[in-house]
Structure 1
């Protein structure tokens, strides 16, 4: 394993679990999740899976970009806030190689933006807002750059920044490099972990202990349905194996190559002051690069809890 112990790799993959759903409205089976609402076939022959929530005829559309290991289910963290937005249609896609979406050997931030463009054209969606959570940040920002005039607003929650722009001291910056030095070992650990979660969702605690706050840990302990949904999200993300997740991690670890100074849509960055996985300076770094971005830091909130407690505000910012 290139000099890395299994313990180090497990700790590293823990640092790469970038946001799990923290609120469940229904309980999902441990070993399976509902099939996606739909799959869109691209010109290349690949297909992209998606779920839809809220008002299907809503005049406002928001696209959710999940972290990893995550999938379309992750956006259910926002469902309790949807009643506050009765005119909102919320769409969440599995990125290539995760959930039910076919792999893309040439995956990049820009290729994802083109995939998303084709999906939205197929769904008849012309104008929309974007949400990027944690490691979904660069994918959402790439979409904003590709689709420009079609994007009405952007909300980034617990977001990562381009690690190549400086040292940020977060767990993610220390651990994400594992995928660069030992990708096969990371794949093996993730696949093994998925099997453990399939047998017992409480196996998630080993990863959550790496970066969660005391309140976040207590939330999962007190709400078995939330833990079970988080497990379903991980299992869906890894249903095809870990290749899709590892390719996402590899992209995130490299220089992003995104001209964030050219983002034109109003952007709000939500971040917890107690976030140890992606420290608040990451939000500040993105705020300096994105024109006129608003940075909102929440005392006491962590990587997971910020998305849960600020769900209404995140949806409002993205649908403005």
Structure 2
């Protein structure tokens, strides 16, 4: 009897692992259960990158727009068309691998992202361009500047994720005391300090179909769910704003059908950001975020987190001097996602860059819901751009 028990203890895990392996193979072969609706570029290795163009391709200043964590190519509409026309520019938003409608890329790096960007630009006939990185898109904008110095004309960072390795001891103390409101941010900070290898491990696990799907439902969806909280008054402001703009009639019931549901406003955001989403940018919740989760894989989160919070593979201080002088960093003091100290560290590490601090600016409201700042930031970017 004892020998039978030992045999079972040995064989059951092996059988279970074999079954999981076969099921993962099945998932890998299975066709996507979503329909391709985006414009996509086919890369030399057969993968596809989805993109979105906002504005006229005849404009003189192309801007590649890199979205934040758990967002998508639709962020390219953030500047708004009238501002793009004013600075003679258009934006190209691209989904990072496994996000939105771009194919997965196991083991992707900052350098591989820059190589993908170069291929996309080539196929779109864009020789030189500006790059904008919002939040988690910031490191990718800097990677493009580092790896593609002959093509990048200037960089705009909006509340960027930063390189922990750049921080001085005093700045690290401020970073560790930063009271981001999410369980995810606290867990990541703990992993960075005590067990950075866990981030890479989760990223690798999420790159398999089975691991990515399991982590998506077991971790990612729960984290997203933990960010939701009732905010009826914000929804009311959304209805009021739409009525004031003539989008819906004054007699329309509240909340307006195009407003995000009250419980869909992330409570982890600063109030100024929550109000911005509800009043002017509901598309961030109705389009950008849902699109990012289309493939139902946790790679949408863990690949980025691992790259951001382990040592970066390039040195921002060695970016081409002309690009450094055309680098603009914007940061809000009320940001509950990215601490101000991260933007300060980047500015110190990039000689010649300009740092703009918006008091109580939140994570993105100072740009997304402030046309003056949108015009100022893009005008400064383009006017300082290097001539190639």
TM-score bucket (shorter structure): 0.7 to 0.9
Give every structure 1 segment of 4 or more consecutive aligned residues whose post-TM-superposition deviation is greater than 6 Å: 181-185, 193-197
| Distance apart, 1:152 and its partner CA | 1.1
More deviation in 252-261 or 64-73? 252-261
Structure 2, gaps ≥5 residues long: 1-33, 192-197, 204-210, 229-259, 384-388
Residue in structure 1 matched with residue 137 of structure 2 by the alignment? 136
More deviation in 251-260 or 48-57? 251-260
Residue in structure 1 matched with residue 99 of structure 2 by the alignment? 98
Residue in structure 2 matched with residue 61 of structure 1 by the alignment? 62
Matched, 1:252 2:308: yes
Residue in structure 1 matched with residue 30 of structure 2 by the alignment? none
Aligned length: 281
Aligned mates of 2:41, 2:225 — CA distance in 1: 29
| Contact kept in structure 2, 1:191 and 1:238, CA below 8 Å | no
Aligned mates of 2:35, 2:364 — CA distance in 1: 21
Report the TM-score when normalising by structure 2: 0.66
Of the two structures, which has the highest relative contact order with CA contacts closer than 8 Å and spacing of 6 or more?
1
| Contact kept in structure 2, 1:133 and 1:157, CA below 8 Å | yes
| Distance apart, 1:95 and its partner CA | 0.6
Q: 1:14-163, aligned counterparts within 5 Å?
A: 35-36=37-38, 38-79=39-80, 81-85=82-86, 87-163=88-164
Q: CA RMSD in A?
A: 2.7
Change in CA separation of 1:88 and 1:42 when aligned onto 2, cut-off 3 Å? same
Structure 1, gaps ≥5 residues long: 1-31
Residue in structure 2 matched with residue 174 of structure 1 by the alignment? 186
Of 258, 274, 277, 1:220 maps to 277
| Distance apart, 1:194 and its partner CA | 7.3
Q: 1:292-307, aligned counterparts within 5 Å?
A: 292-307=352-367
Residue in structure 2 matched with residue 187 of structure 1 by the alignment? 216
Larger Rg: 2
| Distance apart, 1:147 and its partner CA | 1.0
- Secondary structure of 1:286's counterpart equals helix
| Distance apart, 1:193 and its partner CA | 7.0
Report the TM-score when normalising by structure 1: 0.79
Matched, 1:231 2:295: no
Structure with the larger helix share: 2
Aligned mates of 1:222, 1:89 — CA distance in 2: 25
